[in-house]
Amino acid sequence: MENQLIYNTIEYIKSVFATDFSGHDFFHTMRVYKMATNLARQENADLQIVQLAALLHDVDDRKLSPETCENKDRAVAYMREQGLPEETIALIKEIIGEVSFAGKDSVVPKTLEGKCVQDADRLDALGAVGIARAFAYGGNHNRVMYDPEIKPALNMSKEEYQNHISTTVNHFYEKLFLLKDMINTRSAKAIAEHREQYMKEYINEFMDEWEGIK
C-alpha cells in the first residue's frame, strides 16, 4: 500500500498525462515507478526519494513541457505544494535532471537513488514494451518504420541526437541497443540483457521478413 504522499503524486501524474499520447503517458510513468521501486529495494536505496523522482521524472520533459524543462518548474511546484523540505526538493530535481538519454552527453547520476530511476526509465525503452513505444513514437512523428537507404547515425552528441530525424528501426541502433552498457545497477543489468536479447531477435525476424526470407 502506498503512503499518502505517493498516492497524491500518482493522482497528480494522472492529471498531467491525461492528454498525452506521445509515449510519455501515465502508464510509462507507472512502469518506471514500479521498476524503480523494485530496484531501490534490491539496491537498498532510499525508497521514498526513488519513488517520488520516478513519478515526477517526465512531468517537465523537454518534448512534453519545453518551457518548464530547464528548471523542472512543474515538479518543484508540486513538491512545494505537498510541503516537502527544500533539501528533498533539490535532490529530486537533480535526479530528474540526470535521467534523460542524451547520446554521448548522457550523464551518470551522482546518487544511488538517481541511478535506480535512470535505470528504470531506460529499461522501459527496452523489451516488448520498448519495441511498442518506439513504433508508437515513430507513427506519432510521421516517421517511416524502416528504409534500407537511410543508415543509422552513431556517436551523436546531445544536440545531434535531439535534432536527428531517422527511421524507427534506426532508433534501435542509435539509442536502444546502446542502453544496456549504460545501465548503472547490477539488478537492472540482468533485466536489460534479457530485454535487449529479445529486441535483437525481433530485429532479426523483421529483417528476414523484409527480405522475404521466412
Give the Cα separation of 188 and 5 in Å (integer).
Answer: 26
Q: Does 195 bind ligand ADP (CB under 6 A)?
A: no
Residue 93: contacted member of Ni ion, ligand ADP, none (CB under 5 to 8 Å, by partner type)? none
Count of residues touching Ni ion (by CB under 5 A)? 2
72, 74, 115, 133: which one binds ligand ADP (CB under 6 A): 133
Q: Does 121 bind Ni ion (CB under 5 A)?
A: yes
- Grid cell locating 196: 535487449
Nearest approach, Cβ of residue 78 and ligand ADP (Å): 19
* Segment lying near Ni ion (by CB under 5 A), choices 7-15, 65-73, 101-109, 118-126: 118-126
Q: Does 101 bind ligand ADP (CB under 6 A)?
A: yes
- A 10 A CB-CB count for 36 gives 29
At which residue does the C-alpha cell 523537454 appear?
Answer: 62
Nearest approach, Cβ of residue 199 and ligand ADP (Å): 11
* Segment lying near Ni ion (by CB under 5 A), choices 54-62, 74-82, 163-171, 200-208: 54-62
- Grid cell locating 150: 537511410
**DSSP H helical segments within the chain, as ranges?**
4-16, 26-43, 47-56, 66-69, 73-81, 86-98, 112-123, 127-140, 158-163, 168-174, 186-210
- Grid cell locating 85: 523540505
* Segment lying near ligand ADP (by CB under 6 A), choices 47-55, 150-158, 168-176, 182-190: 168-176
Residues 32, 121 contacting (CB under 8 angstroms): yes
Residue 195: contacted member of ligand ADP, Ni ion, none (CB under 5 to 8 Å, by partner type)? none
At which residue does the C-alpha cell 518534448 appear?
Answer: 63
Residue 115: contacted member of Ni ion, ligand ADP, none (CB under 5 to 8 Å, by partner type)? none
Short-list 86, 91, 80, 73, CA closest to 16: 73
Residues that bind ligand ADP (CB under 6 A): 23, 58, 63, 100-101, 121, 125, 130, 133-134, 137-138, 168, 171, 175-176
